[in-house]
Amino acid sequence: MKRRFHLRICFRPIQREKARWIDTDHVFVWGQSAGDYLAAMTGVTNGDKTYDVGDHLDQSSQVQGVVDEFGPANLSELAADYDQAAEDFNYAAGNAAAQWVYGPGTSKSIKQYTSQMAAADPATHISSSTPPFLLLHGTADPLVSPSQTLNLFTALEDKGVDAKRVVLTGAGHGDTTVTAAISESSSSTPSGSAGSSADGGAKPWSTKKTMSYITGFLADHTK
């Protein structure tokens, strides 16, 4: 599993050139869905040398915060709260999620919470080195149950990690368009998905209010 969490490999070359490029004392990771799963795993494995692979190992790969937008966590409960068809799809033996955990060619399912599944669960890696988390999820997400971020949020709080969770009523699994201009040119805009006029018609994940949660979190933790 450890070689698949490759984000840390990206940070070390940046650390080497920190005088030229970036404030490496304030590195945050932000992702959506599967990308957020990688971001969450990067955050919770802060300080865990098991996941230090690749070049420039003399450089730090620590991050100072995580923004988690509708990301999965405990893959064995990926279809929690959904119907039988969703369970059959998500827990099919040898599917993409199973291959992520067990490797290519596996005939296993992610339904069973094995030791490999535990290793792939961000909640099992939370420690005193875990940075602050901001988690956001929509109540109408058809792909990743809101219980995924809720359970991770609870685990973070239980371990004393600075964490906040925001629930967006009616929001789905991300926005298919970002701006009002693009929305207006789309004939497939879902009913009721647009934001207020103050947000220029932006969809739930692109509104000023939603972005204010994220910019506020970043501001609070870069002081």
Query: Phi/psi at 37 (nearest 5 deg)?
Result: -55, -45
Alpha-carbon distance of 182 to 210, in angstroms, equals: 19
169 neighbors 195 (Cβ within 8 angstroms): no
Task: With a cut of 90, say whether residue 73 has pLDDT above it.
Answer: yes
3-state secondary structure at position 32: strand
pLDDT in tens, 176-195: 644 443 334 333 333 333 34
Domains defined along the chain, listed by start: 2-74+121-220 (3.40.50.1820)
pTM attached to this predicted model: 0.82
Least confident of 13-17, 113-117, 138-142, 207-211: 13-17
3-state secondary structure at position 214: helix
* Terminal-to-terminal C-alpha distance of the chain: 34
